[in-house]
Amino acid sequence: MIFTPTPLSAAEDALRHEVRDWLDGTLPADFRPGLGLGGRHDPDFSRALATRGWVGMSIPRQYGGAGASTVQRFLVVEELLAAGAPIAAHWIAERQTAPALLRFGTEEQRRWFLPRIAAGECFFSLGMSEPDAGSDLAAVRTTATRVDGGWEVSGTKVWTTNAHLNHFFVVLCRTSASENRHGGLSQLVVDLSSPGVTVSPIPLIDGELHVNEVVLDRVHVPDDRVLGEIGQGWAQVTAELAHERSGPDRYLSVLGLLRNYLAEHGKDLDDAAATAFGRIAARLWSIRQLSLAVARSLDEGEAPATEAALVKDVGTIFEQQTVETVREIAACEIDPGGSMFQQLLAECVLNAPSWTLRGGTTEVLRGIAAKALTGGGAR
């Protein structure tokens, strides 16, 4: 385990305040915050953020990025999430695709994609989950068959966030048969505007339409859009998940809820409520330290998949329990059209069940941790 205490340097702390000041001057007074990574899809905001060098921060300068550390990116992202900023357009490309391209992509892929990601001009979705598979990524049925000049991909992906708005997604698919369920998998970069791609919305319980089913019907993917090595998809995805599971997006979904409750009712807290909020703050700070330690280890070249799984587990459980605690303290009927606190509480109640599902269920994450702690490997 690498959960080593990691204090921030003066420069890192200064960056945090710079981002906070910029957000205060950029977001309108009547801005409606999102729930952490549930912020709106706003390409204009992403491009404005990119002009500050805060999109694709960890991308090296020769590819158009800021060449910043993972911890520096952590601090910027933390401020964006805390503000509920509209980050959805660039989120996946910045958090996950860019590191994967840097680690596994070809030089041509890096030179084509990375400057566009850093400029806030190229947006990605994830192509991992499939129907009837839950969070079992190895249950992939999407196939890619070798054809002249590339691969022909057929299958269905689900829960593909913003596929109707983004430009590409990285598809995990089977390129060969294997007795090992983790073998024979590969990753292909698929243009979402390609012939044979059909994107259909999946309505959520709150009426939102930002996740999709994506059907791939004999979609041609040229050889130069293969990410990494054919047959190494499982190892690549496992490394990629360290970026997905450990960040502040796994424990900050409820910060806006807490802030707005305290803004509206903070002067009226009784002892029991004050104690409950104190415990929430202590847990939040502890989880943040774990998440920050993972970011520091990524800067040191580690691939802490097990530690990332643990952060995601404790972070999302914390978020769900916090919603219930605040709901009990508020002791009121939920009113989606009420005050900002009421609106956020309604959104939290509807969305909280998904927080322990997306990015790997609690059961999957604890299986990863158990295998690692008993010597069975990270997956």
Is the torsion defined by CA of 354, 358, 363, 365 positive or negative?
A: negative
Helix (H, G, I), strand (E, B) or coil at 124: strand
Cα separations in angstroms, 116 against 109, 120, 130: 11, 6, 28
Mean per-residue pLDDT, 112-123: 98
Structure confidence by residue, pLDDT tens digits, 161-196: 999 999 999 999 999 987 788 889 999 999 999 999
pLDDT for res 67: 93
pLDDT band at 308 (very low <50, low <70, confident <90, very high): confident
Mean per-residue pLDDT, 18-26: 97
Say whether pLDDT at 379 is over 50.
Answer: no
Do the domains 10-122 and 125-232 sit in the same CATH topology, yes or no?
A: no
Structure confidence by residue, pLDDT tens digits, 239-279: 777 666 778 988 999 999 999 999 999 998 999 999 999 99
Please return the burial class of 44, using the count of CB atoms within 10 Å of its CB with bins 0-12, 13-18 and 19+: exposed
- Residue 207: Cβ within 10 Å count: 7
Mean per-residue pLDDT, 3-28: 94
pLDDT band at 377 (very low <50, low <70, confident <90, very high): low
Distance between CA atoms of residues 146 and 149, nearest Å:
8
Say whether pLDDT at 83 is over 70.
Answer: yes
Alpha carbons within 13 angstroms on the beta-carbon side of residue 99 total 25
pLDDT for res 378: 46
Q: Which residues pair with 155 in a beta bridge?
A: 216
Task: Please give the helix or strand (H or E) that residue 1 lies within, else none.
Answer: none
Mean per-residue pLDDT, 294-320: 87
Which homologous superfamily does the CATH classification assign to the domain defined by 10-122?
Acyl-CoA dehydrogenase/oxidase, N-terminal domain (1.10.540.10)
Indicate the domain borders of the chain. 10-122, 125-232, 245-374
DSSP characters over 296-329: HHHHTT---HHHHHHHHHHHHHHHHHHHHHHHHH
Mean per-residue pLDDT, 64-77: 94
What mean pLDDT, rounded, does the chain reach?
91
**Bigger pLDDT: 158 vs 360:** 158
Q: What does CATH list as the number for 125-232?
A: 2.40.110.10
**Bigger pLDDT: 374 vs 254:** 254
- Indicate the Cα dihedral angle 80, 86, 89, 95, nearest 10°: 20
Least confident piece of the model among 91-105, 133-147, 252-266: 133-147
255-265 and 340-355 helices cross at what angle (nearest 10)?
150
Say whether pLDDT at 303 is over 80.
Answer: no
CB of 334 closer than 8 Å to CB of 349: yes
- 115-131 burial code (b ≥16 CB/10 A, e <16): bbbbbbbbbbbbbbbbe
Say whether pLDDT at 13 is over 50.
Answer: yes
Please name the amino acid found at residue 275.
Answer: T
Structure confidence by residue, pLDDT tens digits, 321-355: 999 999 999 998 888 899 999 999 999 999 898 88
Which homologous superfamily does the CATH classification assign to the domain defined by 245-374?
Butyryl-CoA Dehydrogenase, subunit A, domain 3 (1.20.140.10)
Task: Please give the helix or strand (H or E) that residue 123 lies within, else none.
Answer: none
